[in-house]
Chain A
Amino acid sequence: MEPCRLELRNVSKHFGEVKALEDINFQLGNNEVVGLLGDNGAGKSTLIKIITGYYQPTSGEILFKGQKVDKLTVAKARKMGVETVYQERALAELQTLWRNIFLGRELVNKWGLLDVNRMKHETHRLMSQSMGFTSSAVNPESRVGTFSGGEKQGVAIVRALYFDAEIIILDEPTMGLSLKETAKLVNFVRDIKRAGKSAIFIDHNILHVYNVADRVVVIDRGRVAGEFRTKDISLDTLMEKMIRVAEVGSFD
Chain B
Amino acid sequence: MSSQTNGVPSTASQPYKETFRLSRFIRANGTQLGILAVFFSLWIIFIVSAPKTFLGPQIYYSFMSTVPFFAIMAIPLTLVVIAKEIDLSFTSTMAMGMVAFILTHNATSSVPLSFLAAMATGILIGWINGIIIVKFGIPSLVATIGTQFFWRGAVLVLSQGKSGSLIYVKESLLHPALVGKITSVFPMQMLWLIVIAILGWVLLNRHKFGAHIYLIGDNVKSAELMGVNTARTRVNSFILLGLVSAFAGVVASFHVAFFWPSLGDGYLLRTLASVFLGGTSVFGGVGTILGTFIGAFIIGAIEAATVAVGLTGFWTQLIYGLIIVLSVMMHAYLRKRSE
**Could you tell me which A residues sit within 8 Å of B by CB distance?**
52-54, 73-75, 77-78, 84, 86, 88-95, 99, 103-106, 108, 112-114, 116, 120-121, 123-125, 128-134, 139-141, 145, 150-151, 153-154, 157, 181, 184-185, 187-188, 191
Q: Answer whether A113 and B207 are a contact pair too, CB < 8 Å, given A95-B214, A125-B13, A145-B339.
A: yes
Say if the beta carbon of B57 comes within 8 Å of chain A: no
Question: Is B24 a contact partner of A141 (Cβ separation < 8 A)?
Answer: yes
B279 to chain A, nearest CB (A): 13
Say if the beta carbon of B226 comes within 8 Å of chain A: yes
B248 to chain A, nearest CB (A): 25
Question: Is A104 a contact partner of B226 (Cβ separation < 8 A)?
Answer: yes
Query: Which of A74, A145, A150 meets B224, CB within 8 Å?
Result: A74
Measured in the bound complex, the distance between the Cα atoms of B4 and A181 in whole Å is 10
Which residue in chain B gives the minimum CB-CB distance to A140? B16
Query: Which of B10, B11, B13, B215 meets A99, CB within 8 Å?
Result: B215
Say if the beta carbon of B184 comes within 8 Å of chain A: no
Question: Is B11 a contact partner of A78 (Cβ separation < 8 A)?
Answer: no
Query: Which of A74, A86, A94, A154 meets B1, CB within 8 Å?
Result: A154
Query: Which of A84, A92, A134, A157 meets B285, CB within 8 Å?
Result: A92
Say if the beta carbon of B18 comes within 8 Å of chain A: yes
Question: Is A129 a contact partner of B10 (Cβ separation < 8 A)?
Answer: yes
Q: Answer whether A90 and B218 are a contact pair too, CB < 8 Å, given A131-B4, A133-B2.
A: no
Report how many residues on chain B are interfacial, defined by Cβ distance under 8 Å: 39
Nearest first, the 7 A-B pairs at minimum CB distance are A124-B16, A74-B227, A104-B226, A132-B3, A75-B227, A92-B218, A154-B1
Question: Is A150 a contact partner of B219 (Cβ separation < 8 A)?
Answer: no
Cβ contacts under 8 Å, A90 to chain B: 219, 221-222, 225-226
Say if the beta carbon of B318 comes within 8 Å of chain A: no
A49 to chain B, nearest CB (A): 8
Which residue in chain B gives the minimum CB-CB distance to A159? B226
A to B CB contacts below 8 Å, 11 in the list: A74-B227, A89-B222, A94-B286, A95-B218, A106-B208, A116-B206, A128-B13, A132-B2, A141-B24, A185-B1, A188-B1
Question: Is A53 a contact partner of B227 (Cβ separation < 8 A)?
Answer: yes
Question: Is B13 a contact partner of A141 (Cβ separation < 8 A)?
Answer: no
Interface centre among B9, B222, B224 (most CB of A within 10 A): B222
Interface residues of B, dominant DSSP: loop
Question: Is A191 a contact partner of B7 (Cβ separation < 8 A)?
Answer: yes
A-contacting residues, B305-328, CB 8 Å:
none
B201 to chain A, nearest CB (A): 12
Say if the beta carbon of B14 comes within 8 Å of chain A: yes
Measured in the bound complex, the distance between the Cα atoms of B215 and A60 in whole Å is 32
Question: Is A92 a contact partner of B207 (Cβ separation < 8 A)?
Answer: no
Which residue in chain B gives the minimum CB-CB distance to A180? B2
Cβ contacts under 8 Å, B202 to chain A: 113
Question: Is A86 a contact partner of B225 (Cβ separation < 8 A)?
Answer: yes
A-contacting residues, B45-83, CB 8 Å:
none
Which residue in chain A gives the minimum CB-CB distance to B9? A129
B328 to chain A, nearest CB (A): 17
Measured in the bound complex, the distance between the Cα atoms of B227 and A105 in whole Å is 8
Question: Is A104 a contact partner of B16 (Cβ separation < 8 A)?
Answer: no
Query: Which of B15, B206, B215, B223 meets A113, CB within 8 Å?
Result: B206
Map CB proximity to A onto B13-33 as digits: 1 under 8 Å, 0 otherwise: 111101000001000100000
Cβ contacts under 8 Å, B7 to chain A: 130, 191
Measured in the bound complex, the distance between the Cα atoms of B1 and A153 in whole Å is 8
Question: Is A184 a contact partner of B1 (Cβ separation < 8 A)?
Answer: yes
